[in-house]
Amino acid sequence: MEHTGELHEEYGEEWTEVAPGAAAGGAVPPSRGRAQLWALVLEARSVPCRLERDGRDWCLLVPANHLDRAREELRLFEEENREWPPAPPPARPLAENTLSTLSTLVLLATFHNLTQLDVTLPVFSQPDWVGLGNAQAAKILDGQWWRLVTALTLHADSLHLVSNLAIGGIFVVFLCHELGSGLAWSLLLGAGALGNLANAYAQSPNHSSVGASTAVFGAVGILAALTLVRYRQRLQRRWPLPVASALALLALLGTEGKNTDLGAHLFGFLFGVGLGLMTEYLLGRYGRPGRLLNALLALLSAVVVVAAWWAALEFGG
C-alpha cells in the first residue's frame, strides 16, 4: 500500500497528512490496519494517497489539492460503517419444556414397544401396525394420506428407534427450547409428512419406509434456516455456513446403512429449511407463540397423529 517516487513525480512534493480527527472524530493516530483501510477507500474513489510510518504511528498522506476531498470521502465512509457489523439480535429466552419434550420421546418409544406385542384392541384385533402405517408410495398416492404421519411413529427395530431418539432427540429438545413445544412439534410433523409425500412421488410405487428420521432431518433443516435468517447480517459472506453444516450432517448421518432412505431424509431436510425460513420470518414479525397458542399447537399435533392412526385402523389394509 506504500507508494514512492511515481506519486512524487505526478503530484509534486507537497503531500499533507489526513488528520485522524478529520475522518474518525478523534486525535488518536490510526493503526496500520485502519490506515490501510482508509487508503483502500481513497484509492477506490480515485484519490491519490500513500502511507508513511512516523515512529510507531502510521500516517496517510494525500496531495494538498486533494485534502478536502479525501477528508470528505473518509468522513462518509466512517459514517456509513459506524454501526457495522450490526449487533446480534437479542437472544430469545429458551422455553423451559425439557420434561414435556422428553416425555413425548418416551411416548414414541412406548408406542414402538406396543407395536411389537400381540395386542388386541377393543375394535381392531391384532393389527399389523407396520403394514397399516408404513409410507408405501403407491398407497400414499392412492389417497391413504394417514401413512404420511403414521410412518413417522413406526420403527423397523429397536436399534432404529434408539438411533433416532439418541441423535434426533438432541435436535428436537433444542428446537423445542427455541420455539416452544407446540410450534416445534407442529413443524416437525409438517416437515416429516411433507418429506414422506415428496418421497412417495420420487420413489417407485413399491417403495415403503418407516421411521421418525424424516422428521429428525426436518429438525436439522429448521434449525439451519433459523440460524441463517436470524444471523444473516453477521454472517456476511459466510451466510451459507448453517445450511452447509446441516448438509454435512445429512451426509454423515443420513446415508449410513443399507436400509437408509436417503430420499426421505433429504426431503425432510428441504421441507424443514422451507418451514424454518417461514417460521423465523413470522417470529421476527409477531414474536414467539404464547403459552396458550403453543398448547393448542401441541394439542393439534397430537390430534393429527391420533386421527391418522384411527384412519389407518379404520380404512387401511
Say whether pLDDT at 44 is over 70. Answer: yes
Q: Which of 159-168, 178-187, 211-220, 260-269 has the lowest mean pLDDT?
A: 159-168
Quick one: average pLDDT of 104-115? 76
pLDDT of amino acid 2: 44
Question: Which residues are catalytically annotated?
Answer: 213, 265
Percentage above 90 pLDDT, the chain: 24
pTM score: 0.67
Mean pLDDT for all residues in the chain: 78
Quick one: average pLDDT of 162-171? 81
Per-residue pLDDT reduced to its tens digit, 221-231: 998 888 888 76
Domains in the chain, start-ordered, CATH in brackets?
Answer: 5-80 (3.30.70), 98-315 (1.20.1540.10)
pLDDT-derived band of residue 24, with 50, 70 and 90 as boundaries?
A: very low
Say whether pLDDT at 82 is over 90. Answer: no
CA–CA–CA angle 156, 165, 316 (5° rounding): 40
